[in-house]
Amino acid sequence: MAKSRTATPPATVQRGSGGELHHQAGGTHPPLTTNQGIPVTNNQTSLKAGARGPTLLEDFILREKITHFDHERIPERIVHARGSAAHGVFELHTSLARYTTARVLTEVGVKIPVFTRFSTVAGGAGSVDTPRDVRGFAVKLYTPEGNWDLVGNNIPVFFIQDAMKFPDLIHAVKMEPDRGFPQAASAHDTFWDFISLMPESMHMVMWAMSDRTLPRSLRFIEGFGIHSFRLLDARGKSTFVKFHWRPVLGLQSTLWDEAVQLAGADPDAHRRDLWTSIEEGRFPAWDLAVQIFTEAQAADFPFDHLDPTKLIPEELVPLTVIGRMTLNRNPANHFAENEQVAYCPANIPPGIDFSNDPLLQGRLFSYLDTQLSRLGTPNFDQLPINAPKCPFHTTTRDGHMQTRVPAGRVAYEPSSLQADAPYEALRGFQSLAATGEPDAKGRIRPASFADHYSQARMFFRSQNALEQAHIAAALVFELSKVETPTVRERMVGHLRVIDADLAQRVATGLGLATLPPPAKPAAPVQDLPPSPALSIIDKTPPSLQDRCVAILFSDDSDARRLAAVDKALRKAGAKVQKLSPRIGGAKLNDGTHQPADARLAGSPAAAFDAVALVLSSAAAQQLAQDDTAATFVRQAYAHLKAIGHDEGGKVLVEALHLVPDDGICALDGKALVFLEAAATRQWDREERVHPLP
C-alpha cells in the first residue's frame, strides 16, 4: 500500500540558540548521523571561528555533506545545468585605485575578455528556459592577474544563511526522489515543506515569487555577486564591496501565462534570443556597479551584511557604475565552452578578498570539488575555456588528462636546480591580515542573523500594487500545488509576519476558512523604509530598444503601410518579425510578394512585445474565423501588449470584441501613437483581463 504524505503527523520545530532544530511531539524521528554513523546535533550551521568568523576546514560534517552533494551527478551540473553563454569584453571607465590594487578594477580603458553564462537553477540540462526560477549570472573575466570568476544570480539575496543547508535546499527544490517530478518547478511539497521550516528563506521567497524570476529574456536581467567581498589597497587596508551587473536595456519580465506559453511553443526561447541578438549585432551589455562601504558603516546597518539573505538598499549605499561588459560573440561549440566552463568564486585576483559570509565560505570549497566530479580531472583548468589568458607558471604535474608537457626536473618550490623554475611572487595575492583573537569556535549563528522577516517585508512593500498582486498570485499558484495542508498553513503563518494583507490574499486564494497563527520571529521585525529601486515596473523607462514587434499581414495587405510601420519600428530600435498565415508570405495590394519571417501558427503572442495588424478587410474577416489568428490577437491583448491596426486590422479587433483602451491604436502616418504604446505594457488593462488576488 502506498504511504500517505500525511500518515505521520508533522513535528513541531523550534530553532535553538545555535541554529539547531529541536523536534517536539508528533512522529518518531531517528537521529541524523554522518555517513560514518556519527550523530549530528546541529545540521543548520557550519563550524566557525566565532559567530561572524570564517568557516573552519576541520568541519568534517560540512565537508562530507557538501562533497557527497557535489558528486551526485555526472557529468551534468547538479544546479545551473540549463545554461546559455557568450564571449565578450569588459572595459573599466572609473578606477577604484583608491580601494584596490586589482588591475581589472584600476586600469581604465583596457578591454578584458570575458565568458558569461546564464542559467536556470532547478531544472536539468534538457528542461525549458522559462520556468519561475532564479537565474544564474556567472562571469569569467580573464584578467592580466589571473581569472576572476564573479559567480552569482539575478537576485541579490539567497534562500539560506549557511552553506551547510545548500544540499538540503537543492534536494528540496529538485524533483521529488520517489516520483522523479516535477522538473524545473518549485510548486511541490518538498520545496515548500523545507522553506516553511526555514524562516531565513522568507526574504528570498518574496523575490522568487516576484516578476524577477520570469525574465523576458536573458538580456533584461540583473546580476549580483550576492556576498560582500573585500577590496584591499597597497597597504592592506580593507573596504567592503558588493558587485552588481545592471542591464543597459533595463529590466523586463513576462507574465506567468506568457512564460507557460513560451515553454510549450519555444523551450529554447532565452537561449535563442541571446544567440540571435548577438548574431544580428545587437550586442547585450551590462554596466558593472559597486556598493562600497566601510566596517564602521556596516556596523550601523539595521542588518548584518555578512548574512546572504540580506541586501543593502541602494538608498542606504548608492551604486557607483565603474565599467561595462558587452557580449559580442557566440560560442563556437556549445559543449566545449558552455558545458565545460568551470566557474569558482575562489578565483579572484590580488586586490580582492573574501568576507566571512558563511555561504560564501562554503562555496569557496564546493565549486572546486564539483569541477573534479563533473570534468573528471584536476586538469580541467587546461581546457581552453578555463585557461587563463595571462602568463602562468605552476609546479602542478601529471593527473588524468594532462595535456601540457612541463619541462625540467623541478616540480617543487623552493628549488635551486633549475634557473627558470617558478618562485613565490614578490607581489601577489594576499588575504586580509585579521587582527584580534577569534572567538571560541562553535556551530554558532550570530544574533545579527536572527531577523528573517524585516527585509522580506521591505521588499514586498517596495513593489507597486500590480507587482504585489503578482507575488500573491504566484504564492497561491505554488501553494495550491502542495498536497500537505499543514505546509500551506505554515507558509501563510510566515506571510502574516511579512504583511497582513498579503497573508489574507493568499489565504483567500487557497480557500482557508481561518487564518493560521502567525509564525514567531526570533528577533523583532523592523519596518524598514521601502526601496523604490526594487520595483521593476516603476523604474523601467518606456523603450522600444531591442523589443520584438510582430507585424501580421496577409493577401492584399497595404504595401505602403506595411513598409512604413516596419521602418518606423526599426528606427526606434525594435526588432521586427513579419508573420503571415503561410510561411511563404503573401501578395500585397501593389502586386509585390512579401516573404514572411515566420508562420502565424507556431508563433505565440508571448514571443512579442507588441503587435501591428496590417490587413485588408476581407483578410481580417477570414482571420476572425481562424482560431489561430483569433487566439494570437486575444492573447496579445490579455498579455497587456499594444495592438496597432490599419482599417482592415480594425475589423479583426472589433470582431474579437476587444475592449478599447490606449493600447489599441490606429496605424496613422508614421504610427507614432503605436510606437509610444508599444514601448511598454498596458498595465491599466491588467485588472480587467486578469483578476488578481
**pLDDT > 70 in the chain, percent:** 95
Residues 525 and 620 in one domain: no
Task: Tell me how far CA of residue 681 lies from CA of 180, 260, 369, 373, 542, in angstroms.
Answer: 38, 18, 45, 45, 9
pLDDT of residue 6: 40
Q: Which three cell numbers stand for residue 635?
A: 492573447
Residue 668 maps to a domain: yes
Q: Which tens digits make up the pLDDT trace of 551-596?
A: 999 999 999 999 999 999 999 999 999 999 999 999 999 999 999 9
Whether 655 contacts 673, CB under 8 Å: no
Q: Which three cell numbers stand for residue 352?
A: 580582492
**Per-residue pLDDT band at 423 (split at 50, 70, 90):** confident
Supply the mean pLDDT for the chain. Answer: 92
Q: What is the dihedral of CA 388, 392, 394, 397, to 10 degrees?
A: 50
The per-residue DSSP string of 233-262 comes to -TT--EEEEEEEEEETT---B--HHHHHHH
| Strand-strand pairing, 229-232 and 223-224 | unpaired
Residues 497 and 552 in one domain: no
pLDDT of residue 418: 87
**Which of the residues are catalytic?**
80, 153
**Per-residue pLDDT band at 692 (split at 50, 70, 90):** confident
Q: Which tens digits make up the pLDDT trace of 198-245?
A: 999 999 999 999 999 999 999 999 999 999 999 999 999 999 999 999
- pLDDT above 60 (res 148): yes
Q: Which tens digits make up the pLDDT trace of 177-190?
A: 999 999 999 999 99
Task: Please list, in sequence order, all residues whose beta carbon lies within 8 angstroms of the beta carbon of residue 107, skipping any fewer than 6 positions away.
Answer: 92, 95, 144
- We report the CATH number of the domain holding residue 164 as 2.40.180.10
Q: What's the mean pLDDT in 166-182?
A: 95
Q: Which tens digits make up the pLDDT trace of 279-290?
A: 999 999 999 999
- pLDDT above 90 (res 307): yes
Residues 498 and 555 in one domain: no
Q: Which three cell numbers stand for residue 379?
A: 586538469
**Per-residue pLDDT band at 425 (split at 50, 70, 90):** confident
Residues 511 and 561 in one domain: no
- pLDDT above 80 (res 8): no
pLDDT of residue 669: 72
Amino acid at 111: K
Q: What's the mean pLDDT in 3-22?
A: 45
Q: Which tens digits make up the pLDDT trace of 97-142?
A: 999 999 999 999 999 999 999 999 999 999 999 999 999 999 999 9
Question: Quick one: DSSP state of residue 287?
Answer: E
The per-residue DSSP string of 520-571 comes to --SSPPP-PPP-GGG-STTT-----TT-EEEEEE-TT--HHHHHHHHHHHHH
Show the beta-strand stretches assigned E in 424-556. Answer: 441-442, 548-553
- pLDDT above 80 (res 16): no
- Residue 187: strand, helix, or coil: coil
pLDDT of residue 17: 45
**Per-residue pLDDT band at 12 (split at 50, 70, 90):** very low
Residue 15 maps to a domain: no
Which residue in this structure is represented by grid cell 544567440? 275
The number of distinct structural domains making up the chain is 3
pLDDT of residue 70: 82
Residue 106 maps to a domain: yes
Residue 446 maps to a domain: no
User: 451: part of which helix (H) or strand (E)?
Assistant: none
Residue 411 maps to a domain: no
Q: What is the pTM of this model?
A: 0.90
Whether 614 contacts 587, CB under 8 Å: no
Residues 293 and 367 in one domain: yes
Whether 374 contacts 367, CB under 8 Å: no
**Per-residue pLDDT band at 621 (split at 50, 70, 90):** very high
Domain that holds residue 368: 48-382
**Per-residue pLDDT band at 437 (split at 50, 70, 90):** low
Domain final position from 348, 382, 416: 382
Whether 487 contacts 193, CB under 8 Å: yes
pLDDT of residue 74: 57
Q: What's the mean pLDDT in 27-38?
A: 76
Residues 102 and 54 in one domain: yes
Task: Please list, in sequence order, all residues whose beta carbon lies within 8 angstroms of the beta carbon of residue 311, skipping any fewer than 6 positions away.
Answer: 156, 157, 455
Residues 568 and 484 in one domain: no
Which residue in this structure is represented by grid cell 556549445? 334
Residue 34 maps to a domain: no
Domain final position from 355, 382, 409: 382
- We report the CATH number of the domain holding residue 652 as 3.40.50.880
Which residue in this structure is represented by grid cell 523604509? 529
